[in-house]
Chains A and B, each alone.
Chain A
Amino acid sequence: METENKDWNRISAYLSGQLTDQEKNDFHSWIDSADYNQQMFREARALWNHSTIRHSMPQDETEQGWADFISKRDEKPAVNLWTTPWLRIAASITLLVGLLYIVNMFRHQSIELVAGNTVGTFYLPDSSVAWLNTGAKLRYSDNFNSGVREVTLEGEGFFKVKPNKEKPFIVSSENASIRVLGTSFNVSTKSENTVVSVAEGIVSVHGDGKDSVILVEGDEAVVTREGSVSQGKITDPGFSSWRLQNNPVATRERDHPELYLSSTAEWKKNLVNMSVIEGVIHNTSSLVTFEKVVIKVTYLKTRGEQDVFRITMEEKVGPGQQVNYQKRLLDILTMTKLEKVEIESAVAAD
């Protein structure tokens, strides 16, 4: 592990342009020396190149800022209270308590995700996805991914939990505690009760008392304020449809399928010398299923002329899923080379 740290240091120094020419040569030899090094470098470079997003303030508030500054600058300084002994003692005690508080903060920082007036889509440190309905809050500690994956929920959230048998995922609301290993479920704490609805997988729900139930896909549990748990079938099949409404991410995904579909393809000649393209379409969106994906393939023929054909996928591709495609050309006499593959269009499935 010690050597791995040095590797990451070296890679990051290279990517940020810190290395001298000699060091760069050494670095290139290091990459060439092992496939694993190459892979590490490729991944790091992809991360570096795609770290482009900047947050910026929505409005220019310079005039207001100047006004605020003037009022702060011209504030009368407070009377010096340090001279009285009582205040000094009080101050020392406060300082001590403050120090203890700060020391405690250093141990674990708490992260709070808040959905404002739209649905929020958040990726947790273990790559699980949490959708928070408007006004909902999710809290977790920065040691989230070390042992147990614990979050605290206020409001309504839908979780798609990454499977990990060694690290149970626990959602705590005011009256209930929900424990999963890897699955998709909805937790609503809108009324005084907590309602848990399972979309996929197995979940165990505990109330404050000794009550607990195990739910599978299609089941629902209600935990009352007093902590008692009851179980039944899901009554409202649209229990997680809130994720699609008032959700800027979903809107973007629906309106720009081309941003969320990527394709990889292999081009070869088969045994009877027909050109064959075999590819995979990945849907990298969080919520939207696409269908009628049209792939445009451009290729070169023997004398360098370009030709184009399209493949229309009838199959739907769900969020996070992929689908294969294949096509053969009846061109046993020509030599061909793939030029490019593009996603021309797609439609959001309802």
Chain B
Amino acid sequence: MQEPENRDFEKIFKEHYKSLCDFAYNLLQDRDLAKDTVQEVFLKLWKNRDNLEMGTSIRSYLFKATSHTALNHLRFSKKIIRMDEEGFNAMSSPSGTEEIGFKELELKIRASIDRLPPKCKVIYLLSRHEGLKYQEIADTLDISLKTVENQMGIALEKLRNDLKPFLTPEFLSVMIFIGYLIYTYLK
């Protein structure tokens, strides 16, 4: 009875571990904390393995649980933002193209995102990086739709205040111009 259960669980663990760690790390920026968070999630899953409803997708359960646990950690721990060579080189941008002068703005924006209040940061990243709809975010974090709406507004406003000097009309017009070039190229 133990053996097959164990093996299935191991399969699920190994299949999702890295992506959940990356996801937690994106929220927490602390390697040990990210690993602890994912361990907690799997321990909880192990304890509740008999109670899981058949219909739930394991991935979505794990994802929700990780968001929840990470948010709790973010709230109750001192925020530690580490900048060392490893962390720096591990940052990635899905847009493969190196647009002139943009990388720096993206770094500054990321630094600003990492300074948002915990709940605000998690909500913003769930929307922007994971593409979740507001209702999905509300379900994932057990909060109201209104809260999600407000927090998204707060996130953009704080980012804009932090980055005001870099959002001059001149700077923006370069981006729009190059964006237009890319758009026409892609057409």
Contact B152 A9 (CB under 8 A): yes
CB nearest to A258 among chain B residues: B100
Task: Assign chain A's interface to a size class.
Answer: 35 or more
Within the complex, the shortest CB–CB distance from B101 to chain A, in Å, comes to 3
Do A111 and B17 contact each other (CB < 8 Å), given the known contacts A50-B102, A55-B29, A284-B101? no
Question: Could you tell me which residues of chain A, from 95 to 146, have a CB within 8 Å of some CB in chain B?
Answer: 102, 105, 109-118, 120-123, 125, 127, 132, 142
B83 contacts A114, C-beta separation under 8 Å: yes
Contacts of B62 in A (CB 8 A): none
Main secondary structure of the interface of B (DSSP, over half): helix
Stretch of A56-64, A206-214, A221-229, A231-239 that contacts chain B: A56-64
User: Which residues, 96 to 116 on B, are CB-close (under 8 Å) to A?
Assistant: 98, 100-113, 115
- Bound form: Cα–Cα A256–B105 in Å: 15
- B39 surroundings in chain A (CB, below 8 A): 65, 68-69, 72
10 closest A-B pairs by beta carbon, nearest first, are: A116-B84, A262-B101, A9-B153, A8-B153, A120-B83, A12-B152, A53-B110, A56-B22, A8-B157, A284-B104
Kindly identify, within residues 10 to 42 of chain A, every residue whose CB is under 8 Å from any CB belonging to chain B: 10-13, 15-18, 39-40, 42
CA distance A66 to B105 in the complex (A): 38
Binary per-residue interface labels of chain A (230-272) against chain B in the complex, 1 for a CB within 8 Å, 0 otherwise: 0000000000000000001100000000111111100000000
Knowing A16-B128, A66-B13, A114-B82 touch, does A262 contact B171 (C-beta < 8 A)?
Answer: yes
Q: In chain A, residues 295-350, which have Cβ atoms closer than 8 Å to a Cβ of chain B?
A: 340, 342-343
Q: A189 an interface residue at 8 Å Cβ cutoff?
A: no
Minimal Cβ-Cβ distance residue in A for B6: A70
A80 at the interface (CB under 8 A from B): no
Q: Are B108 and A123 in contact (CB under 8 A)?
A: yes
With both chains docked as a complex, state the minimum distance between the C-beta of A70 and any C-beta of chain B, in angstroms: 9
